[in-house]
Structure 1
Amino acid sequence: MSLAKFKAYLGLEKQYSSHTITAYGRDVETFAEHCGKEHGIQSLSEVSYPMVRHWIVGLAESGMSNRAINRKMASLKAYYRFLQKAGLLERNPLAKHRSLKVEAKAEVPFSEKEMERVLRAIVYPEGFEGSRDRFMINLMYTTGVRRAELINLTLGHVGPDDLSIKVLGKRNKERILPFLAETRTLFKEYMEVRNAKGIGLGNHHVFVTNKGNKFYETLVYRIVNKYFQGVSTKVKKSPHILRHTFATHLLRGGADLNSVKELLGHGSLASTQVYASNDIATLKKVHAMAHPRNVNK
């Protein structure tokens, strides 16, 4: 059953990123190889759930975490749903599968002091890369933009006069994100240096390499990690933690959950509530200070 058609379906109909499509395809191929080797199965339409369970047990015994196994199972679920939708399969062997239990990951946002240090205290390199990196980190913190959205941001979608950017999020949903006056200043400084050096003149993307090519995911990660390495002792220093920090700091500042949801581009409030639950200590302080029955105020 054509894996190429499955990948095309993920890209055209589900609007998944190229990274996700590659990962899903690889998981299906690995599972198909396992079934052929262990069970003599030539077509994935012949698979039964005990065969799937056998694969899961093997992955667990190899030391793979439940979270990683669940990601692989998501790939298989998507594949079998595709086969059913295409009329190529009547019985889905994963119909009754339940995800393995995983512990909730505690993602610790950067503190306001750490953000102040990375934005104001550290010295960025002179020239193109320094101005680009400073602008990028500032934009990510002040808008909560996703890494993929940042990479695909084009010059035509930055409104320096009305202090906003237009991003294309998941499922091709557009949203307008406001940014600060200081972010506009950094954008103009970056573009002045970029144009003066003639970097990326034919590239309409906002963020380019020093050779003028479009940004890529690992470069964004390396830049964020590089600058936070000197100001934070947190284990995880990634673009997602910067987005997490944006949401957490807004909620601490009194922003309502629905507004943060819209800014983040979340499809449901449940996704945004994670940031609220992670900031329970702040909520307790607010409650203690504000509640009229608290005699210790």
Structure 2
Amino acid sequence: MELFFKYLQYEKRYSPHTLTSYHTDLGQFADYLQQVYQITDAAEADHTIIRSWILTLVQQNIKPRSINRKIACLRSYYKFLMAQERIKVNPMLRIKAPKATKKLPAFVQEEPFNNLLDSFTFEDTFEGQRDRLILEFLYGTGIRLAELINIEPSDIELRAKTVRVLGKGNKERIVPLNDSLLLALDAYQNEKIRLFGDNNSVKLLVTNKARPLYPKFVYRVVKKYISLITTSEHSSPHVLRHSFATHLLNKGADLNAIKDLLGHASLAATQVYTHNSIEQLKSIFEKAHPKA
């Protein structure tokens, strides 16, 4: 299994988040094999044993999306075992994933959130300016949480008003920066220099002890401010990524352009935002059309 995870990390270049999830999934599967079948080597499991584990997950009311991720993990693992000639038959070829209901991406309403960014008085401190920059970055660029906390000062090109982002699979893309974000960046940098001096840290966004930000930190910041404008339980950094894409689409932006900005590998991943846009169009139609 350790060879498998090294393969995913260094050859397939999976994200740290996916690696952590797969570690958990494969560990749970290994525990199941040992406890129920007294099998210590996953290479010995056949498709009937794998099906029994999936059935156990269903009976535990695990969400279909989570089950499908675990199945995807096993597919990768047994494909790896085949390549290593550890097994002669791939048991996953006879496994079908349960259908998962597709949920529309959650997003914040455009006007309240922009009013928050424009009108809220962020404290004129390092912490206040950092909070503002986190919100401006996530909503103004649509980048992922992992991409945000890994931005380095050298990734930002002020003259071109762009930031270089390292996305999934180590794919690099250039994302434009708006004027509001640049103002927030300037205010943050001034506070950062005042607090820590002119020595550039490895990462752009840091804690009060000049250490790189971590995911839970950003989650807390985003939740704190989104809760000021909505009672929705959806208040993660990814909601601002969804909002970025949805609001662009509502304003008539080209879907292919949004795909490139988000760093999606295929247009299929971006098309989910068209459903939110259609819902808005229906709402406008019902309010405005005389026959509605």
Q: TM-score, normalised on structure 2?
A: 0.93
**Paired residues of 2:153 and 2:200 also in contact (CA < 8 A):** no
Q: Percent identity?
A: 37
**Paired residues of 1:248 and 1:275 also in contact (CA < 8 A):** yes
What residue in structure 2 maps to residue 18 of structure 1?
Answer: 16
Amino acid at match of 1:90: K
Matching of residue 95 in structure 1 with residue 78 in structure 2: no
Question: Higher relative contact order at CA 8 Å, sep ≥6: structure 1 or structure 2?
Answer: 2
1:45-81 deviations in whole A, cap 9, x for unaligned? Answer: 2111111111112222223222222122221111111
Residues 1-297 of structure 1 aligned to structure 2 (within 5 Å) = 3-198=1-196, 201=199, 203-284=201-282
Deviation, 1:173, is 0.9
Q: Which runs of 5+ in 1 are unaligned?
A: 289-293
Report the more deviating stretch, 79-88 or 258-267.
79-88
**CA gap 1:131/1:59 in 2 versus in 1, 3 angstroms:** same
**CA gap 1:200/1:287 in 2 versus in 1, 3 angstroms:** farther
Deviation, 1:38, is 1.2
SS at match of 1:162: coil
CA distance in 2 between counterparts of 1:74 and 1:196 reads 48
Deviation, 1:217, is 1.0
Deviation, 1:87, is 2.3
Deviation, 1:252, is 0.8
**Paired residues of 2:104 and 2:275 also in contact (CA < 8 A):** no
CA distance in 2 between counterparts of 1:281 and 1:67 reads 24
**Paired residues of 2:105 and 2:272 also in contact (CA < 8 A):** no
CA RMSD of aligned residues (A): 2.1
**CA gap 1:228/1:285 in 2 versus in 1, 3 angstroms:** closer
SS at match of 1:278: helix
**Paired residues of 2:105 and 2:273 also in contact (CA < 8 A):** no
1:95-115 deviations in whole A, cap 9, x for unaligned? Answer: 121211222123331111221
1:16-47 deviations in whole A, cap 9, x for unaligned? Answer: 12232122122212212211221122321211
**CA gap 1:46/1:173 in 2 versus in 1, 3 angstroms:** same
Amino acid at match of 2:195: K
CA distance in 2 between counterparts of 1:107 and 1:128 reads 32
Deviation, 1:284, is 4.4
Deviation, 1:192, is 0.5
Q: Which runs of 5+ in 2 are unaligned?
A: none
Amino acid at match of 1:42: T
SS at match of 1:197: helix
**Paired residues of 2:104 and 2:272 also in contact (CA < 8 A):** no
